[in-house]
């Protein structure tokens, strides 16, 4: 599938492909990124209006990670600056930089509109949120039963869910624990990433 147009709109496609693991997963990640745009825009406006800087920080942190995951590096840096400002209560930075950052976000979303014409883009091993939750539930039971083979099989299946970078790393950690027969530690990690399945 041709993804050269994504470089032309300013994405670092090599970084995006490295993060997501192939062109199908990359395009799927971009579709989800675009799909969550309206919700994120509304949330940020509400948090600012209510001076809820804790929730604001969580949202811009996620946008930082997700922007980087699709190769929107400059936008990722801009969201990181907002996250750092929220962490250190620099309200003047938040007030000055939120609008320009959101304008960059709006611009990128517009440029990514051709992605909608691709229809449903999914990698062969990609699983939906419902399947991922069901798989995670079964994995927790298998780990509790010390079922080594089934745990490995289910963890591999779960890695087909398009997690964000942080959760992907956590899942790799859980898989390493399973390899070392450290089932309690693996259970803790799977419980931790469960909430990211949405």
Q: Are residues 93 and 145 in the same domain?
A: no
In the chain, how many domains are there?
2
pLDDT in tens, 174-194: 999 998 888 999 999 999 998
User: Are both 95 and 24 inside the same structural domain?
Assistant: yes
Do 86 and 44 share a structural domain? yes
The 10s digit of each residue's pLDDT in 136-148 is: 999 999 999 888 8
Domain of residue 148 covers: 129-194
Residues 144 and 147: their CA atoms lie apart, in Å, by 8
Site of tokens 């693991």: 21
Residue 64 has pLDDT above 90, yes or no: yes
End of a domain among 118, 150, 185? 118
- Whether residue 75 sits in one domain with residue 21: yes
Instruction: Report yes or no on 159 lying in a domain.
Output: yes
d(CA 3, CA 31): 13
Same domain, 74 and 25: yes
Asked, for residue 109, whether it belongs to a domain, the answer is yes
pLDDT digits (tens, 9 = 90+) for 28-58: 889 889 988 999 999 999 999 999 999 999 9
In a shared domain, residues 23 and 79: yes
Cα distances from 43 to residues 144, 179, 189, in angstroms, run 38, 40, 28
The tokens for 14 are 């090599």
Q: Tokens 């990359």 — which residue?
A: 26
């Amino acid at each position: 599938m041709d993804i050269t147009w994504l470089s032309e709109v300013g994405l670092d496609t090599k970084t995006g492909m490295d993060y997501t693991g192939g062109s199908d997963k990359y395009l799927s990640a971009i579709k989800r990124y675009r799909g969550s745009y309206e919700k994120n825009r509304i949330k940020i406006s509400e948090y600012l209006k209510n001076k809820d800087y804790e929730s604001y920080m969580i949202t811009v942190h996620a946008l930082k990670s997700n922007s980087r995951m699709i190769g929107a590096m400059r936008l990722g840096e801009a969201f990181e600056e907002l996250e750092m400002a929220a962490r250190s209560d620099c309200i003047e930075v938040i007030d000055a930089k939120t609008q320009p950052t959101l304008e960059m976000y709006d611009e990128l979303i517009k440029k990514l509109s051709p992605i909608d014409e691709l229809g449903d883009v999914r990698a062969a091993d990609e699983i939906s949120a419902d399947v991922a939750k069901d798989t995670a539930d079964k994995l927790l039971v298998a780990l509790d039963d010390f079922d080594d083979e089934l745990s490995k099989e289910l963890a591999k299946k779960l890695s087909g869910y398009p997690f964000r970078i942080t959760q992907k790393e956590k899942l790799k950690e859980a898989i390493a624990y399973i390899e070392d027969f450290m089932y309690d530690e693996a259970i803790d990690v799977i419980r931790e990433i469960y909430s990211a399945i949405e």
